[in-house]
Amino acid sequence: MGATIRGKHLKSGTAIPQPVTGDTTRAMKTIHQITLALAWVLSTLAGAPLVQAQSTPEVRIDAGMLEGIRERDMQVFRGIPYARPPVGDLRWQPPLPVAAWEGTRKATAFGPACMQGPRPGIGETSEDCLTLNVFTPADARPGANLPVMVWVHGGGFTGGSGAGFDGAAFTRDGVILVTFNYRLGLFGIFAHPELEPLDNAQPWANYAVLDMVEVLKWVQHNISEFGGNPGRVTIFGESAGAMGVHLLMTTPSAKNLFHGAIAQSGYGTWPLPRAERASKLPGSPTAEQQTLAAISTIAPGRQLKRQDLKALPAALLANAVSGFLLPVVDGVIIEDEPGIVFAQGRQHKVPYITGANGFDGVVLRGSGVDAKAYWESWSEKADEIRKLYASDFAQSEEQGIARLFGDQRYGYAGHWTADQMSRAGIPTWLYYYDYLPAAQRSELPGAPHGGELAGIFDVPNIGDEQRAMGATIRGYWINFARTGNPNYLGGDGAPWPVFDADDQWMVFRDGAKAQSGVLKDKLALIGQWYLARIGLKR
């Protein structure tokens, strides 16, 4: 039977946080608060009520029958398990296919979020969290061959959830949206020398990425029953979700599972910890050190064996990491840092959109990166940086350092990966998002990290201008999902040139406008650091 889906909505009265007036330091604190809210606002509302429920659509997938719900011109199927619960002996193991069930399973409520530290509004958490949600147009039926977009949520690989991202803005334009949970924190990234391999295979470390791959396999096997086209799947994500996109584009296990990719503020050129068995890169910490340091916070002085690790309470593990957590180069799932794989031409050859926000660096405070040590690492280039970022340093040291951090971590990654895709002859489009609602323009120095999400997902309680900007970007995204090209077939919207040697970006600020050489001098400086670090000459 047909499947029509729509996700949860923001509760009436839920407001996007607005900045307060004050001096630069106060504004920076506010920026940090806004960033955290925007990065997770759509993933922390799993308790929102259903509206306008009308009937009970059903669909048969590999594991059995599902009963969803029809609401707001959508069919919604929530909390669908895509893998067995990764608990007990399955903790720190690759996801296994879900067991089939008898009868009809209700799919009307989101599953619990994956284990994580306290997050406002995140709701119930559990190790048993590997579920996904499917949102389809009301009239979607098997064989409809609708384009499918799979959203990878952000949250620094330590927080967030697929719940709360409403599919309505996508389904009303004939797109199926899939959101999902993946293991977070030490449950999702764990390189410990005591873990034994499964079936004599090499030890794993990046369970979060394996979960993402498993979702894409599930989509290939089942999405046609919801009216989706398994040959027209686009992955997209923001922040850690965009890093997930970078990782999916470079892990061999995801080959042929998707056909387009959008990375919003990803960080595929950022240094990653490397497992001892993986190739070495100067200046990179070891993955085992990252894991052991986190474990030492909850079991100081103890030499934990495999069964000790398996027996650790989930709540302790969930709070063992402060700040963000980086995926690790394990030599198996992640063969190398995405930026290096892109440079080698070994990434999956699918059409690609990427970009960054004007003030992505607002996340510096919550990232776990020490700002003082970070600035000291640039000491040899300090004078040059101060000239390039003069207007930011004129406001405060903190703003200048944060802007540099954002451009290095996110802006450079977008430009680098776009350039490598272009060199490989793959259609690629690059953007720079620097739109701010009018009320925030006197308070924020640029669009904060995650600032595009409210508009793209068309959340309530945003202004008409922000809603229009979100609709513009979403229009490009949806056309890309349909055709592999973001430009509107009907000719509407500003033309978005393919990225090439002319260094063309689409700038989202006052509308949408193509522009060459955005951040050119700043990225050239950052590029000197990156090329030296990876030992590549250009």
| Tens digit of each residue's pLDDT (9 = 90 or more) over 255-299 | 999 999 999 999 999 999 998 878 788 777 789 989 999 999 999
Tell which wins on pLDDT, 310 or 491: 310
At residue 56 the predicted structure's pLDDT band, cuts being 50, 70 and 90, is confident
* 291 φ, ψ (degrees, to nearest 5): -70, -50
| For residues 60-89, average pLDDT | 97
At residue 538 the predicted structure's pLDDT band, cuts being 50, 70 and 90, is confident
Report DSSP letters for 339-372, one per residue: HHHHHTT-S----EEEEEETBGGGGGGGSS--HH
User: What share of the chain has pLDDT > 90, as a percent?
Assistant: 80
pLDDT at 120: 83
Lowest-confidence range among 36-45, 188-197, 254-263?
36-45
Lowest-confidence range among 28-42, 337-351, 386-400?
28-42
Q: Indicate whether 22 pLDDT > 80.
A: no
| For residues 211-238, average pLDDT | 98
Structure token digits, residue 368: 């776990």
pLDDT in tens, 415-440: 999 999 999 999 999 999 999 999 89
Contacts of 160 (CB under 8 A, 6+ apart): 39, 40, 43, 44, 113, 116, 119, 122, 153, 154, 184, 240
| For residues 479-496, average pLDDT | 87
Q: Indicate whether 254 pLDDT > 60.
A: yes
Q: Indicate whether 364 pLDDT > 90.
A: yes
Show the beta-strand stretches assigned E in 220-314.
Answer: 228-238, 260-264
Q: Indicate whether 38 pLDDT > 70.
A: no
Tell me the average pLDDT of the chain: 89
Any idea what DSSP says for residue 382? Answer: H
Burial class of 315 by CB neighbour count within 10 A (0 to 12, 13 to 18, 19+): exposed
pTM across the whole model: 0.90
> Of the residues 239, 265, 279, 367, which is catalytic?
239
| For residues 118-131, average pLDDT | 93
pLDDT at 491: 58
Name all domains of the chain by residue range, CATH numbers in brackets: 24-429 (3.40.50.1820)
| For residues 327-356, average pLDDT | 96
Q: Is 224 a catalytic residue?
A: no
Among 459, 462, 405, smallest CA distance to 32 is for: 405
pLDDT at 211: 98
At residue 32 the predicted structure's pLDDT band, cuts being 50, 70 and 90, is very low
Structure token digits, residue 170: 């996508």
Q: How far is residue 133's CA from residue 153's CA, in Å, rounded to a whole number?
A: 13
pLDDT at 203: 65
Lowest-confidence range among 129-138, 243-252, 299-308?
299-308
Q: How far is residue 376's CA from residue 93's CA, in Å, rounded to a whole number?
A: 39
pLDDT in tens, 193-221: 888 665 555 667 999 999 999 999 999 99
| For residues 443-472, average pLDDT | 96
Helix, strand, coil tally for the chain in percent (to 5): 35, 15, 45
Any idea what DSSP says for residue 491? Answer: S
pLDDT at 193: 86
| For residues 323-333, average pLDDT | 92
Q: How far is residue 111's CA from residue 210's CA, in Å, rounded to a whole number?
A: 19
Q: Indicate whether 49 pLDDT > 50.
A: no
| For residues 28-53, average pLDDT | 39
pLDDT at 51: 36
